Structure 1
Amino acid sequence: MANNFRYDVFLSHSVKDRELRQRKVDGVEIFTIKKERHASYWMDQAFPVLLVIRNSEGEIRWMEVRDWLRRESDNGKKPVRQIVFEGERFDVMSVRCWRDRVLGQGS
């Protein structure tokens, strides 16, 4: 049986917490974008792009990055090489809350 979905998402995942580094000045976590074309590709998507990172302890966090990149790059006018990763825990409740925000529904 085929399902038609009204909304899509794009997913980029990293299973290595070493791709996140902590900035010494303020302790903020930084995800480095290895290739500029990745940032451009993510910004150009019609649907949300989720960056998902799993650390060595098995904790999984996620963050929507398409809109963040668009904002930080002034809609692609200036290059962005890193993302300030403010990922939230990836669990049932965070998925439901994110779904409700995106679809504009209350729970």
Structure 2
Amino acid sequence: MSQTHTDAVADSRTTAICVFTPHTGAQADLQHLVLPLVEPSRREPGCLGYDFYQEEGGPLVRVEQWATREAFDVHCAQPRVVEVFEHEILELLDREPEVHVTTPITAADH
């Protein structure tokens, strides 16, 4: 079976899911630190979606979607992202963030 252009584009998408578990009482501080990154990240080339979700009192979940792994890697290397996610955020967390970087799978893959 040949791969169409649409299939090739879909196969290159990257979705990163990251779970941040803040210390008790640090949820608001964590949100204050990360939410200013949303709009600039959404404007980056290749960004298809960049959102945070939280169940009341639970961990903060970041879901970001990129057109390619390369676009995601460029985003991760941005100085503002490095500063927040590799330095500032860690003191607010109970443990290291849980990170999953994924690509789509289809029935044709199996």
Q: TM-score, normalised by structure 1?
A: 0.28
- Judging by fraction of residues, say which structure has more helix: 2
Larger Rg: 2
Tell me which of the two structures has the higher relative contact order, counting C-alpha pairs closer than 8 angstroms and 6 or more residues apart: 2
TM-score by length of 2: 0.27
